[in-house]
Amino acid sequence: MTKQKSAILNYLISTRGQHITVQQIAEHFAAQGTPIGVATIYRHLDAFVQERRVKKYVLDGNASACFQYDPTDAPPERCFHFRCQACGKLLHFQNPVLTRFSEAVKATDDLEIDLEQTVFYGTCKNCSHQG
């Protein structure tokens, strides 16, 4: 594992549970004084996705892909996504009612909801308190 690949992985581990864009990764390393090129970041992220260490989310046709550290030994997580229309932040959350709803849809209508592609839009707590 190269020094840059290791640094990117360690950064993703430190942001566990968050969705991170390539731009955020590049900005982080630039701020640390050790810039890493965007092409290099993409190359390493693609490898992490193939290794099943990182999940890649492409939720909007015009938004950047997001990446999230997710080691293979972690239990599978059924989650929904929320995009704040004020700040653009992408959050994920679990909700047993929505999970049961998606399971009920599958059972009664023979349709399967792809939870990794399901996005709810609204205003996050930080933005709603600012307004």
Domain regions of the chain by residue span = 3-69, 80-130
The pTM for the full model equals 0.65
Mean of pLDDT over the chain: 84
Contact indicator for 80, 120 with CB cutoff of 8 Å: yes
Q: What is the mean pLDDT of residues 89-105?
A: 83
Give residue 73's pLDDT.
57
In the predicted model, is pLDDT for residue 10 greater than 70?
Answer: yes
Question: 17 near 54, Cβ under 8 Å?
Answer: no
Question: What pLDDT digit, counting tens, does each position of 42-77 carry?
Answer: 999 999 988 888 888 776 665 678 888 877 655 455
Q: Which CATH architecture has domain 3-69?
A: Orthogonal Bundle (1.10)
Query: Which position has the higher pLDDT, 36 or 115?
Result: 36
Q: Which CATH superfamily is domain 80-130 in?
A: Ferric-uptake regulator, C-terminal dimerisarion domain (3.30.1490.190)
